[in-house]
Amino acid sequence: MNSFLNDLLSGSNHPADGFVEFLSSDHVRYQNKVNVSGHNHNCHRKVRIEKSITGGEGYTVTIFNEDGIHPMWGNNVQMSPKRMHVVRMVEECVELRGFGTDAMGFPFNNYGMTVYHNGSRIIRCVLHMFERGVDLEYLQ
């Protein structure tokens, strides 16, 4: 296991340089804890967790659409980069919570990510959009 992934899975908010990517081919949308979408098979997303791109503590989390480029904005970014740090660890999951703001002053604390792992690799991720009561569970 690389040192960055080890830092993430052990709950460090001061990780080594690097990143980890989780590739998903299926996701489920929950609204207020209720499954509202069923499985979205063959819907490819990539969750990228990297050392904070702005420096300091924590991580930057970005989600990409791996099915192609968006016709309006010309890239495949599904969720723009969000600053997050570890707020809780429970056996085989690490909870990240957004902090700070973007350049327009939009707060990142409305976002979170729970990373589930088996001790050596990520097995699923859940994006939390707290303000909307929405969770997106990304599966392999």
Average of per-residue pLDDT across 123-137: 97
Calpha distance 98→85 (Å, rounded) = 7
Average of per-residue pLDDT across 34-50: 93
| Of 43, 39, 47, 46, the residue nearest 25 (C-alpha) | 43
Q: pLDDT at residue 74 above 80?
A: no
Query: What's this model's pTM, rounded to 2 decimal places?
Result: 0.92
Q: pLDDT at residue 1 above 70?
A: no
Calpha distance 67→85 (Å, rounded) = 28
Least confident of 10-14, 54-58, 61-65, 130-134: 54-58
Percentage of the chain lying above the pLDDT 90 cut: 81
For residue 19, the 8-state DSSP code is E
Give pLDDT tens digits for 82-116: 999 999 999 899 999 999 998 899 999 999 999 99
Cα dist. 101→26, 45, 82, 107, 110 in Å? 30, 24, 9, 4, 10
User: Domain ranges in the chain?
Assistant: 3-139
